[in-house]
Amino acid sequence: MLLDPHPQQTIDNFSIAFDLLKLSEKFPIINISSEAPEESEAMGTKEKFWFHHEQLGLCLYKKARQNTGEDWSEKIAAELCKLIKLPHAEYELALFNKD
């Protein structure tokens, strides 16, 4: 039998994975098909385009820069605004071409 030399780390990793699973249920990640882009958006520095989502209607997809946290931070800010009843844009997490 093998014993884990770091049982607390294993428990913490499991806890993090479980928390992420709960978050993915509460905040699902939308997969955008490669055929979805309808019109590009030139404003700003990020790649972005408009598309129609069957439940959300007209949406703007903004490609996040890797390792910046700008994708999840905008989602968190929107959720906090919702909680304290401040006007805000709605944000959903999405993937386009696995990005």
Buried-state track 42-67, b at ≥16 Cβ within 10 A, e below 16 = eeeeeeebebeeeeeeebebbebeee
pLDDT band with cut points at 50, 70 and 90 for residue 41? confident
pLDDT band with cut points at 50, 70 and 90 for residue 85? very high
Element (H, E) at 12: helix 7-26
Percent of the chain exceeding pLDDT 90 equals 34
Alpha carbons 11 and 19: distance in angstroms, whole number: 12
Tokens found for residue 66: 């890797």
Q: Do the Cβ atoms of 75 and 93 come closer than 8 Å?
A: yes
Instruction: Please tell me the predicted confidence (pLDDT) of residue 81.
Output: 94
